[in-house]
A and B are shown apart, each in its own frame.
Chain A
Amino acid sequence: MKIQVRYFASLREALGPGETVELPEVSTLGLLRDDLVARGGAYADVLARGRAVRCALNQVMSDEAAVVRDGAEVAFFPPVTGG
Protein backbone atom coordinates (compact mmCIF):
# COMPACT_ATOMS: atom_id res chain seq x y z
CA MET A 1 0.00 0.00 0.00
CA LYS A 2 1.04 3.59 -0.53
CA ILE A 3 0.87 6.41 1.99
CA GLN A 4 1.87 10.06 1.89
CA VAL A 5 4.32 11.16 4.59
CA ARG A 6 4.84 14.83 5.38
CA TYR A 7 7.41 16.54 7.60
CA PHE A 8 7.19 19.95 9.25
CA ALA A 9 9.50 22.49 10.93
CA SER A 10 12.90 21.05 11.96
CA LEU A 11 11.98 17.63 10.52
CA ARG A 12 11.20 19.22 7.13
CA GLU A 13 14.59 20.93 7.16
CA ALA A 14 16.29 17.57 7.77
CA LEU A 15 14.15 15.27 5.60
CA GLY A 16 12.40 17.47 3.03
CA PRO A 17 8.69 18.31 2.76
CA GLY A 18 7.54 14.72 2.34
CA GLU A 19 7.44 11.59 0.25
CA THR A 20 5.35 8.64 -0.84
CA VAL A 21 6.16 5.54 1.20
CA GLU A 22 5.30 1.97 0.13
CA LEU A 23 4.38 -0.42 2.91
CA PRO A 24 3.73 -4.14 2.44
CA GLU A 25 0.72 -4.21 4.75
CA VAL A 26 -1.45 -2.26 7.16
CA SER A 27 0.82 -0.71 9.77
CA THR A 28 0.82 1.66 12.73
CA LEU A 29 2.36 5.07 13.15
CA GLY A 30 4.93 3.57 15.53
CA LEU A 31 5.97 0.83 13.08
CA LEU A 32 6.16 3.36 10.26
CA ARG A 33 8.43 5.50 12.40
CA ASP A 34 10.62 2.46 13.10
CA ASP A 35 10.85 1.75 9.35
CA LEU A 36 11.94 5.32 8.67
CA VAL A 37 14.52 5.23 11.48
CA ALA A 38 15.90 1.98 10.00
CA ARG A 39 16.90 3.92 6.86
CA GLY A 40 19.66 5.48 8.95
CA GLY A 41 21.26 8.87 8.29
CA ALA A 42 19.11 11.93 8.94
CA TYR A 43 16.03 9.72 9.44
CA ALA A 44 17.67 7.84 12.31
CA ASP A 45 18.85 11.12 13.76
CA VAL A 46 15.62 13.15 13.83
CA LEU A 47 13.04 10.36 14.26
CA ALA A 48 14.95 8.25 16.81
CA ARG A 49 13.15 7.05 19.92
CA GLY A 50 13.66 9.62 22.64
CA ARG A 51 13.44 12.52 20.21
CA ALA A 52 10.35 14.65 20.75
CA VAL A 53 8.35 13.81 17.64
CA ARG A 54 4.57 14.10 17.27
CA CYS A 55 2.41 12.40 14.65
CA ALA A 56 -0.79 13.16 12.82
CA LEU A 57 -2.83 10.64 10.86
CA ASN A 58 -5.10 12.09 8.21
CA GLN A 59 -4.60 15.52 9.81
CA VAL A 60 -5.61 14.46 13.34
CA MET A 61 -3.07 14.31 16.19
CA SER A 62 -2.60 10.60 16.84
CA ASP A 63 -0.47 8.30 18.95
CA GLU A 64 1.83 5.59 17.71
CA ALA A 65 -0.76 2.83 18.03
CA ALA A 66 -2.91 4.47 15.34
CA VAL A 67 -3.47 2.16 12.37
CA VAL A 68 -2.19 3.36 8.99
CA ARG A 69 -4.13 2.19 5.93
CA ASP A 70 -3.66 2.57 2.19
CA GLY A 71 -3.94 6.17 1.02
CA ALA A 72 -3.33 7.65 4.48
CA GLU A 73 -1.65 11.00 5.03
CA VAL A 74 0.85 10.82 7.88
CA ALA A 75 2.78 13.76 9.28
CA PHE A 76 5.72 13.88 11.67
CA PHE A 77 6.70 17.09 13.43
CA PRO A 78 8.14 18.51 16.66
CA PRO A 79 5.94 19.63 19.57
CA VAL A 80 3.92 22.63 18.48
CA THR A 81 4.87 26.20 19.46
CA GLY A 82 2.19 28.51 18.10
CA GLY A 83 0.51 31.56 19.53
Chain B
Amino acid sequence: MSRVAIQHEDFDVGSLFQALHAADAGTGAVVGFVGTVRGRDDGHAVQALELEHYPGMTERAIEAMIDAALGRFGLRAARVVHRVGRLAAGENIVFVGVAAPHRRAAFEGCEFLMDYLKTQAPFWKKETTPEGSRWVDARAADDAALARWGLDSDNAANA
Protein backbone atom coordinates (compact mmCIF):
# COMPACT_ATOMS: atom_id res chain seq x y z
CA MET B 1 0.00 0.00 0.00
CA SER B 2 1.47 3.32 -1.02
CA ARG B 3 1.52 5.81 1.85
CA VAL B 4 0.55 8.88 -0.15
CA ALA B 5 -2.09 9.33 -2.83
CA ILE B 6 -2.95 12.58 -4.61
CA GLN B 7 -6.02 11.93 -6.69
CA HIS B 8 -9.15 13.36 -8.26
CA GLU B 9 -11.36 10.43 -7.20
CA ASP B 10 -13.11 10.12 -3.87
CA PHE B 11 -11.80 7.62 -1.31
CA ASP B 12 -13.45 4.89 0.74
CA VAL B 13 -12.86 5.51 4.44
CA GLY B 14 -13.81 1.96 5.44
CA SER B 15 -11.21 0.29 3.27
CA LEU B 16 -8.55 2.83 4.33
CA PHE B 17 -9.24 1.97 8.00
CA GLN B 18 -9.16 -1.75 7.27
CA ALA B 19 -5.79 -1.48 5.54
CA LEU B 20 -4.34 0.46 8.48
CA HIS B 21 -5.62 -2.14 10.97
CA ALA B 22 -4.06 -4.90 8.89
CA ALA B 23 -0.74 -3.17 8.27
CA ASP B 24 1.14 -4.39 11.37
CA ALA B 25 0.53 -7.04 14.01
CA GLY B 26 1.61 -4.56 16.71
CA THR B 27 -1.27 -2.20 15.94
CA GLY B 28 -3.68 -1.60 18.80
CA ALA B 29 -5.20 1.71 17.69
CA VAL B 30 -6.13 3.33 14.41
CA VAL B 31 -7.12 6.98 14.20
CA GLY B 32 -8.39 8.58 11.02
CA PHE B 33 -9.35 12.13 10.07
CA VAL B 34 -11.54 13.10 7.13
CA GLY B 35 -11.66 16.71 5.95
CA THR B 36 -14.66 17.81 3.87
CA VAL B 37 -15.60 20.92 1.88
CA ARG B 38 -17.56 23.29 4.15
CA GLY B 39 -20.71 24.69 2.54
CA ARG B 40 -20.32 27.80 4.68
CA ASP B 41 -17.05 29.41 5.71
CA ASP B 42 -16.82 32.45 7.97
CA GLY B 43 -20.45 33.24 7.25
CA HIS B 44 -20.39 33.05 3.45
CA ALA B 45 -21.69 30.28 1.21
CA VAL B 46 -19.16 28.07 -0.57
CA GLN B 47 -20.37 26.08 -3.56
CA ALA B 48 -17.11 24.33 -4.45
CA LEU B 49 -13.37 24.28 -3.94
CA GLU B 50 -10.68 23.98 -6.60
CA LEU B 51 -7.61 22.18 -5.24
CA GLU B 52 -4.22 22.59 -6.88
CA HIS B 53 -0.94 20.89 -6.01
CA TYR B 54 2.69 20.74 -7.15
CA PRO B 55 3.07 17.29 -8.74
CA GLY B 56 6.16 15.56 -7.41
CA MET B 57 6.97 18.03 -4.66
CA THR B 58 3.66 17.51 -2.87
CA GLU B 59 4.07 13.74 -2.72
CA ARG B 60 7.68 14.02 -1.52
CA ALA B 61 6.81 16.58 1.14
CA ILE B 62 4.10 14.31 2.56
CA GLU B 63 6.40 11.26 2.48
CA ALA B 64 8.90 13.23 4.58
CA MET B 65 6.13 14.23 7.02
CA ILE B 66 5.09 10.59 7.38
CA ASP B 67 8.68 9.56 8.08
CA ALA B 68 8.85 12.23 10.79
CA ALA B 69 5.55 11.11 12.32
CA LEU B 70 6.49 7.41 12.31
CA GLY B 71 9.68 8.16 14.23
CA ARG B 72 8.24 10.73 16.60
CA PHE B 73 5.17 8.79 17.73
CA GLY B 74 6.27 5.20 17.12
CA LEU B 75 3.52 4.71 14.55
CA ARG B 76 3.21 1.36 12.77
CA ALA B 77 1.68 2.79 9.61
CA ALA B 78 0.33 6.02 8.18
CA ARG B 79 -1.61 6.95 5.09
CA VAL B 80 -2.52 10.28 3.49
CA VAL B 81 -5.01 10.66 0.64
CA HIS B 82 -5.55 14.20 -0.66
CA ARG B 83 -7.93 15.07 -3.47
CA VAL B 84 -7.29 17.71 -6.12
CA GLY B 85 -9.44 19.31 -8.80
CA ARG B 86 -12.96 20.64 -8.34
CA LEU B 87 -14.82 19.45 -5.24
CA ALA B 88 -18.41 20.37 -4.37
CA ALA B 89 -19.54 21.36 -0.87
CA GLY B 90 -19.87 18.27 1.29
CA GLU B 91 -17.31 16.22 -0.63
CA ASN B 92 -14.27 14.65 1.02
CA ILE B 93 -10.95 16.48 0.59
CA VAL B 94 -8.42 14.68 2.71
CA PHE B 95 -7.90 11.49 4.71
CA VAL B 96 -5.12 11.12 7.26
CA GLY B 97 -4.93 7.80 9.08
CA VAL B 98 -2.37 6.29 11.40
CA ALA B 99 -1.87 2.99 13.20
CA ALA B 100 -0.04 2.76 16.53
CA PRO B 101 0.33 0.30 19.39
CA HIS B 102 -1.67 2.56 21.70
CA ARG B 103 -4.43 5.18 21.52
CA ARG B 104 -2.53 8.31 22.57
CA ALA B 105 0.22 7.93 19.99
CA ALA B 106 -2.40 7.33 17.32
CA PHE B 107 -4.40 10.48 18.17
CA GLU B 108 -1.27 12.59 18.43
CA GLY B 109 0.32 11.18 15.28
CA CYS B 110 -2.81 11.86 13.26
CA GLU B 111 -3.11 15.43 14.53
CA PHE B 112 0.58 16.09 13.95
CA LEU B 113 0.30 14.91 10.35
CA MET B 114 -2.79 17.03 9.74
CA ASP B 115 -1.16 20.17 11.25
CA TYR B 116 1.92 19.56 9.15
CA LEU B 117 -0.10 19.00 6.00
CA LYS B 118 -2.01 22.27 6.37
CA THR B 119 1.13 24.37 6.66
CA GLN B 120 3.87 22.60 4.69
CA ALA B 121 2.38 20.52 1.89
CA PRO B 122 2.02 22.44 -1.39
CA PHE B 123 -1.74 22.53 -1.90
CA TRP B 124 -3.81 25.60 -2.67
CA LYS B 125 -7.57 26.05 -2.38
CA LYS B 126 -9.77 28.33 -4.44
CA GLU B 127 -13.35 28.88 -3.27
CA THR B 128 -16.30 29.31 -5.58
CA THR B 129 -19.00 31.41 -3.91
CA PRO B 130 -22.18 33.07 -5.24
CA GLU B 131 -20.11 36.31 -5.47
CA GLY B 132 -17.30 34.75 -7.51
CA SER B 133 -14.15 32.80 -6.78
CA ARG B 134 -11.15 33.63 -4.61
CA TRP B 135 -8.00 31.93 -3.37
CA VAL B 136 -8.15 30.91 0.28
CA ASP B 137 -5.57 32.67 2.47
CA ALA B 138 -3.32 30.73 4.81
CA ARG B 139 -4.52 30.95 8.41
CA ALA B 140 -2.37 32.04 11.32
CA ALA B 141 -4.25 29.49 13.45
CA ASP B 142 -2.78 26.69 11.33
CA ASP B 143 0.76 27.98 11.91
CA ALA B 144 0.01 28.18 15.64
CA ALA B 145 -1.17 24.55 15.56
CA LEU B 146 2.15 23.47 14.08
CA ALA B 147 4.10 25.51 16.64
CA ARG B 148 2.48 23.33 19.33
CA TRP B 149 4.72 20.50 18.08
CA GLY B 150 7.81 22.68 18.32
CA LEU B 151 7.92 23.22 14.55
CA ASP B 152 7.84 26.31 12.36
CA SER B 153 5.62 26.55 9.35
CA ASP B 154 7.26 27.07 6.01
CA ASN B 155 4.38 29.45 5.44
CA ALA B 156 5.68 31.60 8.28
CA ALA B 157 9.39 30.98 7.82
CA ASN B 158 9.84 32.30 4.30
CA ALA B 159 8.01 35.61 4.50
**Cα–Cα, bound, A79→B153 (Å):** 10
In the complex, whether B123 has a CB less than 8 A from a CB of chain A is yes
Q: 10 additional contacts, CB 8 Å, given A81-B124, A82-B125?
A: A8-B124, A9-B52, A12-B52, A55-B158, A75-B57, A79-B138, A82-B51, A82-B94, A82-B121, A83-B123
B117 to chain A, nearest CB (A): 5
Chain A residues packing against B (C-beta within 8 Å)? 6, 8-10, 12, 52, 54-56, 59-64, 75, 77-83
Whether the pair B159, A52 counts as a contact (CB closer than 8 A) is yes
Chain B, residue nearest A83 (CB): B118
- Decide yes or no: A59 and B124 within 8 Å by CB, A64-B158, A83-B114 being known contacts: no
The reply to whether the CB of B79 lies closer than 8 angstroms to some CB of chain A is no
Given contacts A56-B54, A56-B57, A59-B54, contact A80 B123 (CB under 8 A): yes
Contact with A along B40-51 (1 / 0, CB 8 A): 000000000001
Shortest CB distance A66–B (Å): 10
B122 within 8 A of A: yes
* A54 & B155 in contact (Cβ 8 Å cutoff): yes
- Find chain A residues with CB under 8 A from B54 CB: 6, 8, 56, 59, 75, 77
